[in-house]
């Protein structure tokens, strides 16, 4: 069979082969709707590619590292990144390359095209998963088109598609992807018409923007909206947008520009064009027999149909379905720039100020009732910032992913995570904190008398320098033990930790090799002219995203420390006179005791760790490789924050979810194992800073591994070996 079909050659029997989008375009073209010329690369080409190159099994191995239900979205993103990198780096078999090249050369002769996904089932009438797979606009030249066909194929395994794998019926053995190559129509204005409003079936809705549709589709350009009567096509209402930007074709891809002044004040559609769009929608509905979402564009007053798919109402309404939230984490460059601005100039200063203001309150002078109210107030403040963290800070991390994708496209490195090396140039607060801790440890290491005095609990002796430095540290970073049950021990726990640090060789954040400059050069050389400025801006955004991802937790930790400070003050007050063992009390119980002298809290019990059974033991656990290296030592399982204070140099840190406020022990460790998965989690970030072996996404890590187990962390392969106690 032919790997590639023109729209007019596509028949009913080709439906599965060309996918929903390709088939719909063919039917519209064959029935007189004005669709741009296009070719369809059939699913057979995809099958040949993954079969002949061995990619199918590689995809299977990636997807089967661990059960899907135990995979976090971040791990799916990592898997997608690795699969995408394979598609980029594996050349097309000669036979396939030749067959596709001949057809593409003949059809387009260097003209710009859009390369669109056309996955089977993507646009079925039961479900619609528009946007799960990729499309690329303004691609010129046969080789470039072939490369983008591979990228569209790779998007069959995008993180978004993996999230909806069950609905899509994704199966590595059988699922394949067709691709539509469509001549680009550089329309002056574009949009989408929804043949039936989701809220009212008697209405249709048009959304329109100036320029290309991409800005509307990815949310960077706000559209004007018209609501039409479905029967008559008459406009019921018009909702103008704040027209500011426009997406236009650029030398390579598309570019977001400021909209010309005259267009800002004029809606993109007028009374002549609205009926043309509506007519297009009715024709598509008649042809396909059901209401359609139709993408269209106007060029020289002629309307073109770009694609049409059935309207679906079967969207997930389950409140527990978090997938729409994960999808919302995919942010465009423009959206991330705006978000960064908000975080750096508004949110972080706000959080810092909040913590500073709270720190000035002399809690000791408050009455019990006032203290109770202060605890409640601080809890509310903290909760509010936690909300900000989820809504604003977590989406910012997508800047790292966006940079990674652009880097991999430009450089095509063998290691799909090579881009991470370029992101860590700025010192994160957690690393600065650890550097100062190291300085304090060095003071102890270099002063035997001080070390002896501290060990004997005799204070600081003659060393005012150490005393002052520790004060300064606590002023800036707070008491690290706060939030643990040792907070009330004041400096003693901190000093014990520093003594432990001083007892071993100083750790250093991994030196930035000189190759960084070469990597940077390599990246920038993949861009020319205005694209290079974009590359610089994107690298800057990626670095900010990387730094903020860690730093924002530290700032949040400062607010939390102020909440904990008030709770701890409450615990101290109720402990002595009321003889209540307040150590393990939650904040709300402390508040109740402070307010009500007769209230006696139920004895809180820590959830006891499940007893280890001898029968089943893990010997080798597979997670995701997140920090290259080998680390060997005794495991220290962190079940609660206070376990950090027991950490000994040379141990392997095993935890459920590491927070930057906990990573001060990282320099003492020889490796990090975390249950949470992903390349961007804090354990992985701090491990890379110190060149530590790190494996993330290890199911039940803290249950399978016991404190004291001898373990080897293989950060190259993502494996943790638990050695037998023979």
Partner 1 sequence: MKDTEALKTVIKDLFALENLAVIATQREGQPFTNLVAFSATDDLKHLVFATTRATRKYANLMADSRISMMIDNRQNQVSDFHKATAVAAIGRVDEVKGPEKADLMRLYLSKHSHLKAFATAPTCALMKLTVERYDVVSRFQNVMELWMTP
For partner 1, which stretch binds (CB under 8 A), given 181-189, 419-427, 607-615, 677-685?
Answer: 607-615
CA atoms within 13 A on the CB side of 422: 27
CB 636 within 8 A of CB 647: yes
At its nearest, how many Å lie between partner 1 and the CB of residue 694?
17
Measured from the CB atom, the residue of 71 and 502 that comes closer to partner 1 is 71
* Binding test (CB under 8 A) with partner 1, winner from 260, 302, 338, 717: 717
Contact between 165 and partner 1 per CB under 8 A: no
At its nearest, how many Å lie between partner 1 and the CB of residue 622?
5
For partner 1, which stretch binds (CB under 8 A), given 287-295, 315-323, 414-422, 610-618?
Answer: 610-618
For partner 1, which stretch binds (CB under 8 A), given 62-70, 176-184, 346-354, 431-439?
Answer: 62-70
At its nearest, how many Å lie between partner 1 and the CB of residue 713?
14
Measured from the CB atom, the residue of 511 and 614 that comes closer to partner 1 is 614
The CA distance from 498 to 520, in Å, is: 38
* Binding test (CB under 8 A) with partner 1, winner from 201, 617, 640, 708: 617
Measured from the CB atom, the residue of 386 and 717 that comes closer to partner 1 is 717
* Binding test (CB under 8 A) with partner 1, winner from 367, 414, 613, 725: 613
Measured from the CB atom, the residue of 54 and 459 that comes closer to partner 1 is 54
At its nearest, how many Å lie between partner 1 and the CB of residue 629?
18
Could you tell me the two tokens for 121?
Answer: 């089932």
Measured from the CB atom, the residue of 70 and 392 that comes closer to partner 1 is 70
At its nearest, how many Å lie between partner 1 and the CB of residue 166?
19
Measured from the CB atom, the residue of 607 and 616 that comes closer to partner 1 is 616
Contact between 614 and partner 1 per CB under 8 A: yes
Contact between 65 and partner 1 per CB under 8 A: yes
The CA distance from 504 to 650, in Å, is: 9
At its nearest, how many Å lie between partner 1 and the CB of residue 57?
4
C-alpha 201: how far from chain center: 36
For partner 1, which stretch binds (CB under 8 A), given 77-85, 195-203, 414-422, 617-625?
Answer: 617-625
Non-local CB neighbours of 114 within 8 Å, separated by 6+ positions: 135, 136, 137, 138, 139, 180, 181, 182, 183, 184, 306
DSSP one-letter string for 466-533:
HHHHHHHHHHHH--TTBTBTTGGGTHHHHHHHHHHHHTSPPP-PPP--THHHHHHHHHHTT--THHHH
At its nearest, how many Å lie between partner 1 and the CB of residue 597?
46
Q: What are phi and psi of 422, to 5 degrees?
A: -85, -5
Measured from the CB atom, the residue of 609 and 619 that comes closer to partner 1 is 619
C-alpha 446: how far from chain center: 44
* Binding test (CB under 8 A) with partner 1, winner from 2, 8, 57, 345: 57
Neighbouring-strand partners of residue 16: none
Contact between 621 and partner 1 per CB under 8 A: yes
Please calculate the CA angle 193-327-688 and round it to the nearest 5 degrees: 150
DSSP one-letter string for 516-537:
HHHHHHHHHTT--THHHHHHHH
The CA distance from 310 to 127, in Å, is: 9
* Binding test (CB under 8 A) with partner 1, winner from 2, 11, 31, 64: 64
Spatial CA neighbour of 553 closest among 665, 430, 667: 430
At its nearest, how many Å lie between partner 1 and the CB of residue 70?
11
The CA distance from 405 to 538, in Å, is: 11
At its nearest, how many Å lie between partner 1 and the CB of residue 326?
24
For partner 1, which stretch binds (CB under 8 A), given 54-62, 220-228, 295-303, 329-337?
Answer: 54-62
Contact between 51 and partner 1 per CB under 8 A: no
Other residues' Cβ atoms within 10 Å of the Cβ of residue 476: 12
At its nearest, how many Å lie between partner 1 and the CB of residue 95?
21
The CA distance from 421 to 444, in Å, is: 33
Other residues' Cβ atoms within 10 Å of the Cβ of residue 496: 18
Measured from the CB atom, the residue of 11 and 723 that comes closer to partner 1 is 723
Contact between 630 and partner 1 per CB under 8 A: no
At its nearest, how many Å lie between partner 1 and the CB of residue 79?
13
Measured from the CB atom, the residue of 64 and 290 that comes closer to partner 1 is 64
* Binding test (CB under 8 A) with partner 1, winner from 112, 250, 282, 622: 622
Count of residues engaged in binding partner 1, rule: CB under 8 A: 20
Measured from the CB atom, the residue of 52 and 241 that comes closer to partner 1 is 52
Q: How far is CA 100 from CA 56, 103, 666, in A?
A: 21, 5, 52
Coil, strand or helix at 218: coil
Measured from the CB atom, the residue of 251 and 717 that comes closer to partner 1 is 717
* Binding test (CB under 8 A) with partner 1, winner from 521, 615, 725, 726: 615
Contact between 54 and partner 1 per CB under 8 A: yes
Contact between 94 and partner 1 per CB under 8 A: no
Could you tell me the two tokens for 367?
Answer: 């009455």
Q: How far is CA 49 from CA 69, 346, 415, 551, 581, in A?
A: 29, 49, 22, 43, 67
Contact between 52 and partner 1 per CB under 8 A: no
* Residue 425 DSSP label: -
For partner 1, which stretch binds (CB under 8 A), given 215-223, 457-465, 524-532, 616-624?
Answer: 616-624
At its nearest, how many Å lie between partner 1 and the CB of residue 616?
4
Q: What are phi and psi of 612, to 5 degrees?
A: -75, 130
Could you tell me the two tokens for 225?
Answer: 């909206």
Could you tell me the two tokens for 76?
Answer: 């799916």
Contact between 619 and partner 1 per CB under 8 A: yes
At its nearest, how many Å lie between partner 1 and the CB of residue 613?
7
Measured from the CB atom, the residue of 64 and 89 that comes closer to partner 1 is 64
* Binding test (CB under 8 A) with partner 1, winner from 60, 359, 533, 600: 60
Non-local CB neighbours of 10 within 8 Å, separated by 6+ positions: 18, 22, 23, 26, 30, 40
Which run of H or of E encompasses 44?
helix 43-52
Could you tell me the two tokens for 712?
Answer: 């080897």
The CA distance from 545 to 396, in Å, is: 6
**Are β-strands 189-194 and 113-118 bridged in parallel, bridged antiparallel, or unpaired?**
unpaired
Which run of H or of E encompasses 551?
helix 530-578
Measured from the CB atom, the residue of 99 and 693 that comes closer to partner 1 is 693
Contact between 343 and partner 1 per CB under 8 A: no
Measured from the CB atom, the residue of 57 and 229 that comes closer to partner 1 is 57
Contact between 620 and partner 1 per CB under 8 A: yes
At its nearest, how many Å lie between partner 1 and the CB of residue 632?
17
Only one residue has tokens 């710009």, namely 112
The CA distance from 698 to 554, in Å, is: 25
Contact between 519 and partner 1 per CB under 8 A: no
At its nearest, how many Å lie between partner 1 and the CB of residue 281?
46
Measured from the CB atom, the residue of 151 and 621 that comes closer to partner 1 is 621
Measured over the CA atoms of residue 234, residue 239, residue 245 and residue 250, the dihedral's sign is: negative
Measured over the CA atoms of residue 661, residue 662, residue 668 and residue 670, the dihedral's sign is: negative
Which of the residues 12 through 31 are near partner 1 (CB under 8 A)? none
* Binding test (CB under 8 A) with partner 1, winner from 361, 388, 474, 618: 618
For partner 1, which stretch binds (CB under 8 A), given 56-64, 250-258, 431-439, 559-567?
Answer: 56-64
The CA distance from 401 to 679, in Å, is: 10
Interaction site with partner 1 (CB under 8 A): 54, 57, 60-61, 63-66, 613-622, 717, 719
């Amino acid at each position: 069979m032919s790997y590639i079909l023109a729209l007019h050659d596509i028949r009913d029997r080709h439906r599965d082969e060309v996918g929903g989008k390709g088939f719909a375009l063919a039917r519209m073209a064959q029935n007189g709707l004005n669709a741009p010329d296009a070719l369809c690369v059939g699913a057979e080409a995809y099958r040949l590619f993954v079969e002949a190159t061995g990619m199918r099994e590689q995809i299977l191995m990636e997807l089967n590292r661990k059960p899907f239900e135990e995979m976090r979205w971040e791990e799916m993103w990592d898997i997608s990144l690795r699969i995408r990198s394979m598609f980029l780096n594996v050349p097309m078999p000669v036979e396939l390359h030749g067959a596709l090249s001949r057809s593409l050369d003949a059809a387009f002769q260097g003209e710009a095209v859009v390369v669109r996904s056309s996955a089977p089932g993507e646009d079925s009438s039961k479900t619609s998963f528009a946007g799960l797979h990729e499309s690329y606009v303004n691609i010129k030249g046969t080789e470039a088109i072939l490369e983008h066909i591979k990228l569209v194929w790779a998007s069959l395994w995008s993180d978004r598609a993996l999230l909806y794998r069950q609905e899509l019926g994704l199966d590595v053995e059988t699922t394949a992807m067709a691709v539509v190559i469509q001549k680009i129509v550089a329309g002056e204005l574009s949009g989408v018409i929804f043949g039936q409003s989701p809220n009212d079936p008697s209405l249709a809705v048009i959304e329109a923007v100036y320029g290309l549709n991409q800005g509307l589709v990815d949310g960077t350009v706000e559209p004007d909206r018209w609501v039409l009567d479905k029967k008559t096509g008459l406009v019921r209402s018009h909702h103008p947008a704040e027209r500011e930007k426009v997406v236009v074709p650029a030398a390579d891809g598309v570019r977001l520009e400021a909209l010309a002044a005259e267009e800002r004040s004029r809606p993109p559609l007028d009374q002549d064009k609205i009926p043309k769009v509506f007519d297009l929608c009715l024709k598509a509905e008649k042809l396909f027999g059901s209401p359609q979402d139709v993408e269209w564009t106007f060029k020289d007053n002629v309307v073109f149909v770009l694609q049409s798919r059935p309207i679906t109402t079967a969207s997930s309404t389950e409140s527990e379905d978090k997938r729409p939230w994960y999808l919302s984490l995919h942010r465009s460059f423009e959206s991330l720039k705006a978000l960064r601005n908000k975080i750096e100039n508004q949110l972080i200063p706000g959080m810092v100020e909040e913590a500073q203001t709270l720190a000035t309150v002399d809690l000791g002078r408050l009455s019990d009732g006032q203290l109770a109210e202060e605890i409640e107030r601080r809890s509310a403040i903290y909760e509010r910032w936690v909300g900000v963290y989820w809504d604003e800070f977590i989406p910012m991390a997508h800047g790292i992913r966006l940079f990674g994708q652009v880097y991999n496209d430009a450089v095509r490195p063998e290691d799909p995570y090579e881009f991470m090396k370029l992101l860590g140039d700025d010192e994160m607060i957690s690393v600065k904190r650890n550097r100062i801790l190291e300085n304090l440890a060095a003071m102890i290491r270099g002063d035997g008398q001080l070390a002896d005095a501290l060990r004997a609990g005799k204070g600081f002796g003659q060393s005012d320098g150490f005393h002052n430095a520790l004060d300064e540290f606590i002023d800036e970073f707070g008491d690290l033990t706060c939030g643990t049950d040792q907070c009330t021990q004041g400096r003693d726990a901190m000093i014990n930790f520093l003594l432990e640090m001083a007892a071993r060789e100083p750790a250093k954040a991994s030196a930035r090799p000189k190759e960084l400059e070469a990597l940077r050069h390599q990246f920038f050389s993949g861009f020319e002219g205005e694209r290079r400025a974009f590359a610089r801006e994107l690298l800057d955004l990626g670095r900010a995203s990387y730094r903020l991802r860690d730093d924002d937790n530290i700032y949040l930790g400062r607010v939390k420390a102020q909440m904990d400070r008030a709770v701890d003050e409450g615990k101290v007050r109720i402990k002595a006179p009321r003889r209540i063992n307040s150590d393990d009390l939650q904040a709300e119980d402390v508040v109740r005791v402070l307010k009500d002298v007769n209230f006696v809290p139920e004895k809180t019990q820590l959830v006891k760790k499940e007893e280890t059974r001898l029968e089943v033991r893990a010997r080798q656990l597979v997670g995701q490789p997140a920090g290259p290296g080998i680390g060997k030592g005794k495991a220290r399982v962190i079940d609660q924050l206070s376990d950090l204070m027991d950490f000994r140099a040379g141990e392997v840190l095993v935890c459920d979810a590491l927070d930057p406020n906990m990573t001060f022990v990282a320099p003492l460790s020889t490796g990090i194992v975390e249950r949470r998965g992903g390349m961007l989690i804090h354990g992985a970030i701090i491990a890379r800073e110190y060149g530590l072996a790190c494996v993330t996404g290890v199911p039940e890590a803290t249950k399978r591994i016991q404190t004291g187990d001898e373990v080897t962390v293989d950060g190259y392969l993502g494996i943790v070996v638990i050695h037998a106690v023979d």
